[in-house]
Structure 1
Amino acid sequence: MTDQLSTFQGGCHCGAVRFETDLRDHVEVEDCNCSICAMSGNDHIIVPASRFRLLQGADQLTEYRFNSGTARHLFCKICGIKSFYVPRSNPDGYAVTWRCLDDCQDMDARLEQFDGQNWEANAAALAHKSRD
């Protein structure tokens, strides 16, 4: 495993929204059980904003916010797919939908559970763990 970054492209179902992101050779994919992720089956990779670039389709995105209003869920207006969003846990970055990456099947990825139903307690525990 290295710290080398590779560029991956992805987008929505209809192709109106396209992006690219720089990811490490091995990625951790979050499988969140919060209401919106569970209902949409959204497994995602958190990346800093500096490693994410929207290539096309900014005018085709629509936004949905709920609960705390911090997360910005962005959907293609045409096909309804959420290729990426601005997560509550990392409002200065993006959560890229793993299955929206063109080559997701070829990636070295590990699925990690995130207890979004108990978001505050889980986020606090993870923050504490990262300081250890």
Structure 2
Amino acid sequence: MLHRGDCHCGNVRFEFDSEPDVHVHRCNCSICDRVGFLHLIIPRSAFKLITSWDELTTYTFNTGVAEHYSCKTCGVKPFYLPRSNPDGYSVNFRCVDSATFAEVVVTDFDGQNWEENAGALAHLSQDSSGSGLGPGSSE
């Protein structure tokens, strides 16, 4: 099923394929706790940015592996490339039109102890197609 999302001002718009029943994670790590990010991790191949990547700014910290994308205009972080799932995106469920979902289960994730717990998330972005629509992809 196709779902759509955007930032607050609408300059960043995206869509993705996902089941209508989803499991999202509420993380208590330093960055997620501050911005209220609810993680819906999807394969890169399921994600499509509708607007230009030029509308986004990138923030990295600590290991520099995760790429946090925020709208240059309103500052909202609608999605990012997570270190735990480099073959996927973590979409901020708070930026998604939730009316297209049938059931949403929210589970707490202990991000304060990220290194010990990240493996529990690694399977969430697995996709057999292996193609992506993010930076560096050919589409």
| Structure 1 residue 112: Cα displacement | 1.1
Equivalent pairs: percent with the same residue?
50
SS at match of 1:10: strand
Number of the residue aligned with 2:129: none
The change in CA–CA distance for 1:113 and 1:101 in structure 2 (over 3 A counts) is same
Higher strand residue share:
1
* Counterpart selection for 1:12 from 1, 7, 25: 7
Equivalents in 1 of 2:67, 2:122: separation in Å?
Answer: 25
* Residue from 108, 116, 129 that aligns with 2:111: 116
Unaligned runs of 5+ in 2: 125-139
Runs of 4+ in 1 over 2 A off after TM superposition: 127-130
Partner of 1:98: 93
Alignment map for 1:61-80 (pairs within 5 Å)? 61-80=56-75
Which of 20, 25, 28 is equivalent to 1:30? Answer: 25
Aligned residues: 123
C-alpha separation in 2, matches of 1:88 and 1:19:
21
Show structure 1 runs of 5+ residues with no match: 1-5
**Matches of 1:119 and 1:129, distance apart in 2:** 16
Amino acid in the other structure paired with 2:6: G
Normalised by the length of structure 1, the TM-score is: 0.87
Matched with 2:135 is: none
**Which of 74, 81, 84 pairs up with 2:79?**
84
The Cα shift of 1:25 comes to: 1.8
TM, length-normalised to structure 2: 0.83
RMSD between aligned residues: 1.9
Tell me, what secondary structure is at the counterpart of 1:56? coil
Equivalences for 1:37-48 in 2 at 5 Å?
37-48=32-43
1:106 to partner: Cα distance: 5.3
**Deviation at 1:93?**
0.6
Q: Provide the residue aligned with 1:57 in structure 2.
A: 52
